Structure 1
Amino acid sequence: MSLDFQQQEAVPDHSEVRSAAECAAKLGLDPITTAAEREPEHAATGVNPDTYVSDDDLVYPTGPKLILIIFALCMSVFLVALDQTIIAPALGTITAEFRSTGDIGWYGAAYLLSTTCLQPTFGTIYRVFDVKATYLVAVAIFQIGSLVCATAPTSNAFIVGRAVAGMGTAGMFSGSVVILSYTLPLRQRPAAFGLIGGMWGIASVAGPLLGGAFSEHVTWRWCFYINLPIGGAAIAAIIFFLHVDRVNNPHNLSLRTRLGELDFIGTAVLIPAVIMLLLALQWGGAEYPWNSAKIIGLFCGFAGLTVIFVGIQVWKGDKGTLPPRLFKNRDVLLAMAFQFCFGAGFFALVYYLSLYFQAIQGDSAVDAGIKLLPLLIAVVVTSVLTGGLISVVGYYNPFILVCMVLYAIGAGMITTFDIDSPTRVWFGYQVLAGLGIGVGFQAGVLVVQNTVSIEWVPQATACVQFFQSLGGSIFIAVAQSVFQNGLIKGITRDVPGIPPEVFIHSGASQVREILKQLHAEQYLNAVLTAYLTGLRHSYYITAACATAGFFLACGLSWKKIEKRKAGPKDAAVATPATVEDGNAAAVGNGNAVAVGNVLPLAPHTDGYSTPKTSVFQPGPGCGIFQTTVPIFIAYLRAVYPKAVAEHCLP
Structure 2
Amino acid sequence: MFSLYISIFLIALDRTIIGPAIPAITNQFHSLDDVGWYGSAYMLTSCGFILLYGRIYTFFATKPVFLSGIVLFEIGSAICGAANSSLVLIIGRAVAGLGSSGVFTGAVLIMLKTVPLQKRPLLQGLFGACFGVASVTGPLLGGAFTGSSATWRWCFYINLPLGGLTIVVVMVLLKLDESHSRSKTWSETIKNLDPLGTILFLPSITCLLLALEWGASDYAWSDPRIITLLAIFAVLFVAFVAWQYFTRNTTATVPARVLLQRSVAFGGLSQFCVGATMLTVAMYIPLWFQAIQGINAMESGIRMIPLVLSVVVGSISSGGIVQRLGYYTPFMIAGSCLMAIGSGLITTWDMETRSGKWIGFQVIAGLGVGWTMQQPNLAIQVVLEKQDVPTGTALMSLCQTLGGAVFVAVGQNVFIDKFTTGLKNIPGIKPEHVITAGATNLKSAVPLQAQIMVLEVYNKSITKGPFFAALIVACIALPAAFGMEWRSVKDSQHPDEAPMVSVDAKRKAKSITVRMNALVERGSIPSQNSRITSSLSTSRLRSIYRTSGQFSQWMTASLNPDLRVELEQIDQGGKHVKPLGVTHHGS
Conserved? CA contact 2:77–2:96, under 8 Å: yes
Match of 1:439 among 371, 396, 419: 371
Q: 2:448 aligns with which of 515, 518, 521?
A: 521
Task: Name the amino acid aligned to 1:528.
Answer: L
User: Out of 71, 77, 95, which is 1:140 matched to?
Assistant: 71
Aligned residues of 1:152 and 1:158 also touching (Cα < 8 A): yes
Query: Are 1:487 and 2:419 counterparts?
Result: yes
Q: Is 1:293 the equivalent of 2:293?
A: no
Task: For 1:447 and 1:124, locate their aligned partners in 2 and report how far apart those are by CA, in whole Å.
Answer: 19
Q: What amino acid is the match of 1:234? A: T
Map Cα deviations across residues 448-470 of structure 1 (whole Å, 9 max, x no partner): 11110111111110011111111
- Give the partner amino acid of 1:489: T
- CA apart distance, 1:523: 1.2
What's 1:342 paired with? Answer: 274
The residue number in structure 2 matching 1:535 is: 462
Aligned twin of 1:357 = 289
Which residue among 327, 336, 345 is the counterpart of 1:413? 345
CA shift in 2, pair 1:88/1:628, >3 Å: closer
The residue aligned with 1:49 is: none
**CA spacing shift, 1:589–1:370, aligned 2, 3 Å:** farther
* Separation (CA, whole Å) in 1 of partners of 2:65 and 2:314: 31
What CA distance in whole angstroms lies between the structure 2 residues aligned with 1:430 and 1:313? 41
Kindly state the Cα deviation for residue 252 of structure 1 after the two structures are TM-superposed.
Answer: 6.3
Alpha-carbon deviations, 1:319-378, whole Å to 9, x = none?
223323322211111111111111122111111112111221122221111111000000
Identify the range of structure 1 (263-272 vs 121-130) with the bigger mean alpha-carbon deviation: 263-272
2:78 is aligned with 1:163: no
In 2, Cα distance between equivalents of 1:253 and 1:427? 59
Q: Which runs of 5+ in 1 are unaligned?
A: 1-69, 565-575, 593-614, 631-643
Report whether the alignment pairs 1:100 with 2:31.
yes
**In structure 2, how many angstroms separate the alpha carbons of the residues matched to 1:348 and 1:629?**
38
The Cα shift of 1:504 comes to 2.6
Tell me whether 1:242 sits opposite 2:161 in the alignment: no
Whole-angstrom CA distance in 2 between matches of 1:289 and 1:375? 34
State the match for 1:232 in structure 2: 164
Alignment partner, residue 497 of structure 1: 428
Counting only pairs closer than 5 Å after superposition, residues 562-577 of structure 1 correspond to structure 2 as 562=490
Partner of 2:525: none
Hey, what does 1:560 align to over in structure 2? 488
**Aligned pairs for 1:14-93 within 5 A:** 70-93=1-24
Matched, 1:323 2:255: yes
Whole-Å separation in 2 of the counterparts to 1:645 and 1:386: 35
Cα distance in 2, alignment partners of residues 550 and 629 from structure 1? 24
Deviation at 1:298, TM superposition (A): 1.9
Structure 2 unaligned regions, length at least 5:
508-533, 550-577
Question: Hey, what does 2:564 align to over in structure 1?
Answer: none
Q: Aligned pair 1:586/2:518, yes or no?
A: no
Native 8 Å contact 2:318 2:331 kept in 1: yes
**Match for residue 302 of structure 2?**
370
Provide the C-alpha distance between the structure 1 equivalents of 2:8 and 2:542, rounded to a whole number of angstroms. 37
- What do the CA deviations read for 1:268-299 (whole angstroms, capped 9, x no partner)? 22222112212222333333322232222222
Q: TM-score when scaled to structure 1? A: 0.77
Q: CA deviation at 1:309?
A: 1.1
Deviations 1:371-397 (A, max 9, x none): 110000000011011101101000001
For the aligned residue pairs, the C-alpha RMSD in angstroms reads: 2.5
Q: Secondary structure at the match of 2:192?
A: coil
> 2: distance between equivalents of 1:431 and 1:92?
30
Name whichever of 91-100 and 371-380 sits farther off.
91-100
How far is 1:547 from its partner? 1.1
Alpha-carbon distance in 2 for matches of 1:463, 1:401: 21
Deviations along 1:60-91, whole A, 9 cap, x unmatched? xxxxxxxxxx1010000000010011111111
- Aligned residue pairs total 523
Preserved CA contact (<8 Å) 2:334 2:371 = no
Distance 1:98 1:399 in 2: 47
CA distance in 2, matches of 1:446, 1:390: 10
Q: Give CA deviations for 1:521-546 in whole Å, capped at 9, x if unaligned.
A: 21111211221122111111111111
Query: 2: CA distance between counterparts of 1:146 and 1:131?
Result: 23
Structure having the higher helix fraction is 2
Higher RCO by CA contacts (8 Å cutoff, separation 6 or greater)? 1
Label 1:280 to 1:252 Cα distance change in 2 as closer, same or farther (>3 A). closer
In structure 2, C-alpha distance between the alignment counterparts of 1:555 and 1:583, rounded to whole Å: 24
Aligned partners of 1:450 and 1:582 also within 8 Å: no
Structure 1 pair 418/312, CA: closer, same or farther in 2 (3 Å)? same
Whole-Å Cα distance in 2 between the matches of residues 645 and 299 of structure 1?
A: 51
Q: Please tell me whether the aligned partners of residues 183 and 189 of structure 2 are also in contact (alpha carbons under 8 angstroms).
A: no
